[in-house]
Amino acid sequence: MLTLEKFEEASEVVSKVTLETKLVYSEYFSAQTGNKVYFKPENMQYTGAYKVRGAYYKISTLSEEEKSRGLITASAGNHAQGVAYAAKLAGIPATIVMPTTTPLMKVNRTKGYGAEVILEGDVFDEACNHAYKVAEERGLTFVHPFNDLDIAAGQGSIAMEIVKELPTVDYILVPIGGGGLCTGVSTLAKMLNPKIKIIGVEPAGANCMQESIRQGKVVSLPSVNTIADGTAVKCPGDKLFSYIQDNVDEIISIEDSELIVAFLDMVENHKMVVENSGLLTVAALKHMKVDNKKIVSILSGGNMDVITMASIVQLGLIQRDRIFTVSILLPDKPGELAKVSALLAKEQGNVIRLEHNQFISINRNSAVELRITLEAFGTDHKNTIMAALTSQGYRPKLVKSKGTYSDGC
């Protein structure tokens, strides 16, 4: 059982391998939400995520016989690195089964800690099933990424640190994948102060815990679909469910589009890289219907590969109308492009890319298409540019995707 004594022991053990992640006050999000917002930056841990806490504590509880057999686990990335690193410190060989969709950076870092990596399955649940088979075949000790009370106790050390640093905290926002982190944090937080409200946050495309709470029993989703790969879990932990029921006040689900905007907010306002699962609690701040409360958002990890990062930045800029593409039709005669260029310069639109297509119409003398990708200051500036083009008779159309248009303004 999860007792205060167990949490205290776990906190003492994990303090040997964790970096101090002091709360970071956010002026930007505090102003945006009307609350006092703090971040618990677990993305700054040595392994890039909080998972080393539970992994290290779990390994410390194993018998010598269990350790001697070697360890195996399944993970979408962060638990993999936590187990690999903790096993390395303990001198125990580790095998990690990861989904084939796991970002290359997470795979390479796991290998870098000396673990054997097996890629199997498209999602965590498929990788986990394969890990159980390998464990049985090789006689390895399985370390579950979340459905284990020792793991949850290790993760709960985060709550201990939050309450010590900010005793008057009102709300703690916790990401949920399988439920290990949320179980540990919510259970210990309620033990330390029953008045603290715990809000679990899941991706809308993988809201297995929210659905389980709704039905009053552990259920498995037919599929998951989210960019928050660290929380892309079909079924929550059955050993954890009762703790979540008792200690979590509400569960919020977040759309992927909200995570994209949250990533941009964190990079621009805090100069921090937080992975999509860690951004769940950032996006959830806008869903909070409270004022003048002290809120801590746990940033669970920061292991994001550069390609994903670049894609999310671009999508975020597009969502905020800071980059957009417009299509206009011009007569095919000299000087028309110069006219458009002068108009855009006057409106301070910065051209990123330009395509001049003479084959949009059979009659080239009638019209050619000009597609312009522009950088703007935001929605108001974009609308001003579109209005200026309309006033000159160009009938601009926004290009939402290749071959798809919507009327401008």
Whether residue 343 is found in the same domain as residue 260: no
Whether residue 116 is found in the same domain as residue 71: yes
What type of residue is 51? K
User: Which CATH number characterizes residue 364's domain?
Assistant: 3.30.70.260
Q: How confident is the model at residue 402 (pLDDT cuts 50, 70, 90)?
A: very low
Shortest CA distance to 198 belongs to which of 177, 219, 180, 183?
183
Identify the three-state secondary structure at position 351.
strand
Token pair listed for 99: 């989904």
Whether residue 184 is found in the same domain as residue 75: no
Which of 290, 316, 342 represents a domain boundary (last residue)? 316
Please tell me the predicted confidence (pLDDT) of residue 361: 62
The answer to whether residue 367 scores a pLDDT higher than 80 is no
Please tell me the predicted confidence (pLDDT) of residue 191: 97
| % of the chain at pLDDT higher than 90 | 76
pLDDT digit string (tens) for 25-59? 999 999 999 999 999 999 999 899 999 999 999 99
Identify the three-state secondary structure at position 364.
coil
Whether residue 210 is found in the same domain as residue 282: yes
- Per-residue pLDDT, averaged over 384-402, amounts to 86
* 318-323 contacts, C-beta under 8 A, 24 or more apart: 319/257, 319/260, 319/261, 320/261, 320/264, 320/378, 320/379, 321/376, 321/378, 321/379, 321/381, 321/382, 322/375, 322/376, 322/377, 322/378, 323/352, 323/373, 323/374, 323/375, 323/376
Pair 141, 72: CB distance under 8 Å: yes
Whether residue 67 is found in the same domain as residue 36: no
| % of the chain at pLDDT higher than 70 | 96
The answer to whether residue 406 scores a pLDDT higher than 50 is no
Please tell me the predicted confidence (pLDDT) of residue 54: 95
E-assigned strand segments in 304-402: 323-330, 350-357, 368-375, 397-401
Strands, sheet with 141-142, edge to edge from the N-terminal-most edge strand: 116-119, 94-98, 71-74, 141-142
User: How far apart are the C-alpha atoms of 226 and 256, rounded to whole Å?
Assistant: 6
Whether residue 211 is found in the same domain as residue 273: yes
Please tell me the predicted confidence (pLDDT) of residue 48: 92
Which of 114, 142, 170 represents a domain boundary (last residue)? 142
How many domains would you assign to the chain?
3
The answer to whether residue 267 scores a pLDDT higher than 80 is yes
Quote the domain boundaries for residue 259: 4-50+149-316
Higher pLDDT, residue 335 or 262: 262
User: How far apart are the C-alpha atoms of 177 and 212, rounded to whole Å?
Assistant: 12
Shortest CA distance to 175 belongs to which of 192, 158, 194, 161?
158
Burial class (CB in 10 A: 0-12, 13-18, 19+), 63: exposed
pLDDT digit string (tens) for 342-362? 999 999 999 999 887 776 666
pLDDT digit string (tens) for 185-203? 999 999 999 999 999 999 9
Token pair listed for 254: 């977040």
Whether residue 68 is found in the same domain as residue 191: no
User: How far apart are the C-alpha atoms of 274 and 174, rounded to whole Å?
Assistant: 14
Those residues with Cβ within 8 angstroms of residue 402's Cβ, 6 or more apart along the chain or in another chain: none
Whether residue 177 is found in the same domain as residue 309: yes
Whether residue 9 is found in the same domain as residue 60: no
Pair 80, 98: CB distance under 8 Å: yes
Please tell me the predicted confidence (pLDDT) of residue 103: 79
Which of 120, 142, 164 represents a domain boundary (last residue)? 142
Asked which of 1-15, 52-66, 198-212, 358-372 is least confident by mean pLDDT, the reply is: 358-372
